[in-house]
Structure 1
Amino acid sequence: MCFGIRNEVKMLTIFLRCYPNIETLHVQTEEAPEFTTNDVNTKFWQETGPIESVKSHLKTMVLHVFQGEQSKLPFLMFISENAGVLEQMVIKLKAGRLPAPALRAVADKRKDLLSAKWSSGAVGAAICCSGLRGSCTA
């Protein structure tokens, strides 16, 4: 899915509401086309309201193909702040070597996530950016 396209993100929220007992969520992402407005921000996720599967059942969330894009951070923050039983958040970087600016963006987003108020109390919640040595943080 592409976080820069509002209709695709809305479909994700519909999916999560249709399957209220999801314990593991894998999200395969794509780069946003240049024509996107990227209006899926923190406000969008705040207006989404509570989602039962995220709030009460989601234990593991895996985001595939992360490159430090700003459009994905509000979703990751929404999960971290609303998933009451989240045990692990795994962020998998895009295969191959990322340019230095993208690596800095990934590191910055990771810091933002670590400073979030984790609904699960952050006990046992880990952020693992596969592809970065020593990057698992509990």
Structure 2
Amino acid sequence: MLIFTQCLSHSVKAILFTLPLSSEERLKSRHRFESDNGQTLFINLKRGTILQDGDILQAETGECLQIIAKPEPVLTITASDPHLLLRAAYHLGNRHVRVEITPNYLRLAPDLVLQQMLEQLGVAIKAEIQPFQPEIGAYHQH
């Protein structure tokens, strides 16, 4: 069993594994996984660590793995008017929804009630399977 205890801030050349994780799985600081070759991988990071796409974890024995944002069901929100997209972001933030924010779109986990609210605002909504990388919060440290 490999136990990964460090999140490295620098690039590593020898990555032994890649581990695709959903946005929910990336919130867990302790988790057990099986690699493609059947090896047990255990993540044991500092409580509150939120993993991001591209993060590199190092095992106690030196092996490294890279975290990949796994594609998952999402709603992608776009608008022809930037002000409308900002309004949508405001209303989602007012509901404390985990949202991926970019200049061109917002992305969130599927939710029928939120989808109906967004439709009433007049934004375009597309159900997709994409990597979901929500904001981690202003007061959270990586």
> Do both share a fold (TM > 0.5)?
no
| Superposition TM-score, scaled by structure 2 size | 0.24
| TM-score normalised per structure 1 | 0.24
Instruction: Report which structure shows greater RCO (CA 8 Å, sep ≥6).
Output: 2
Q: By percentage of residues, which structure has more strand?
A: 2
**Richer in helix (by share):** 1
Higher Rg: 2
